[in-house]
Amino acid sequence: MKAGLFINTQFPEGYDVGARVPEMVEQVRAARDAGFKSLWFPHHWLTNPMQMLAITPTMGYIAAHAQGMTLGPNILILPPQNPVHVAEESATLDVLTGGNYILGVGLGYRQPEFDAFGIPLSERAPRFNESIALMRRLWTEEKVTHKGRFYTVNDSGIGVKPIRAGGPPLYIAAQADVSVKRAARIGDAWLIVNSSGLSKTVPLMKTYRAALAEYGRTATDFPITVECYVGDNHATAHEECRVPLQYKYNAYAAWGLEGRARSELPFEDFARDKFIIGDKVSVKEEIARYHELLGVNHFIMRCQWPGLPVERTLASIKRLGEIFA
């Protein structure tokens, strides 16, 4: 099993974002030194009042500090964007990272984002499918002619090809049967986001594995993104990260993402089977339980949320490294 770090690029209103950038670099170096293998970045537009750094320049900046670590978006909202633009940026990031770039993509769900680009939410899936097919061609073919429902390319090719043969692996986020089957059919991995909890994720993993078999495809990487905090003391760990995590999930609720609203349950009950929080012993046990239940082998841990002091994040990263060592 391997560990990845989900980089926080979101900050509460009033924070000096520029002052947080060195802290992000410090976290990347701490993760690299602790043996983490990958770095992942969130993506949204129009997040005010939450402040959020734009994903592509942030990834390019951090790549210089990653020193051999794999990096990628978790997740890039694909349907509002032109796939030629995404293919070009992805190829460049693949070159900048020495072939260590993974393109994590998803459908998106926020109405204001789609409205801003003039894209109906009802077109998400067909645009997504057409984009994936076109990007793979642009990465591998010298010249492409494509006349689809949404996009057109006339006998043209992108300016730089990816280093990795076939282009960056495509990890597809999904939280429903139909989209999990899509990930098995056209993706290189299903990028699990466990925010709805194991009660939903476990049956979806069965769907994914069955779909892989049906389509005659295989996967070697089974990644899962989990909110994770490793404290020095199990009894106080939940309280140390509660306020920042509640801020984050209240933002999800305000954005209208189903299943992510904070319930009226006590925090520990709300976090159960969604987040991994505790001391090193209990967190190691939970990681083993997730591995046994799901067969996941790549744990992408988000260890910081808006408002969590960086000192706590760095300590959590270090302890996670010791768990995975």
43-56 confidence digits (pLDDT tens): 999 999 989 999 99
Residue 68 has pLDDT above 70, yes or no: yes
* Residue 234 pLDDT exceeds 80: yes
| Mean of per-residue pLDDT scores for the chain | 94
CA angle 151, 155, 157 (to 5 degrees): 85
CATH topology for 2-324 is: TIM Barrel (3.20.20)
Q: Note the pLDDT of residue 256.
A: 63
More confident residue, 11 or 210: 210
Q: What's at 218, amino acid-wise?
A: T
CB 36: neighbour CB atoms within 10 A? Answer: 25
- Average pLDDT over every residue of 23-39: 96
| Residue 227, pLDDT above cutoff 60 | yes
Which residue's entry shows tokens 């939410």? 121
Whether the pLDDT of residue 224 is over 90: the answer is yes
Mean pLDDT across the stretch 58-86?
Answer: 96
Domain ranges of the chain: 2-324
Separation CA 155–CA 138 (nearest Å): 11
**Residue 71: pLDDT above 60?**
yes
Q: How is residue 176 annotated by DSSP? A: S
pLDDT classification of 262: cutoffs 50, 70, 90: very low
pLDDT value for 264: 65
d(CA 246, CA 136): 39
Burial string for 222-249 (b: 16+ CB within 10 Å, else e) reads bbbbbbbbbbeeeeebbebbbebbebbb
pLDDT tens digit sequence for 93-135: 999 999 999 999 999 999 999 999 999 999 999 999 999 999 9
What angle do the packed helices 280-294 and 198-215 form, to 10 degrees? Answer: 40
Distance CA 223, CA 9 (A): 21
DSSP string over 118-138: T--GGGHHHHHHHHHHHHHHH
Q: What is the pTM of this model?
A: 0.93
Residue 51's DSSP bridge partners are 11
* Averaged pLDDT, 157-181: 97
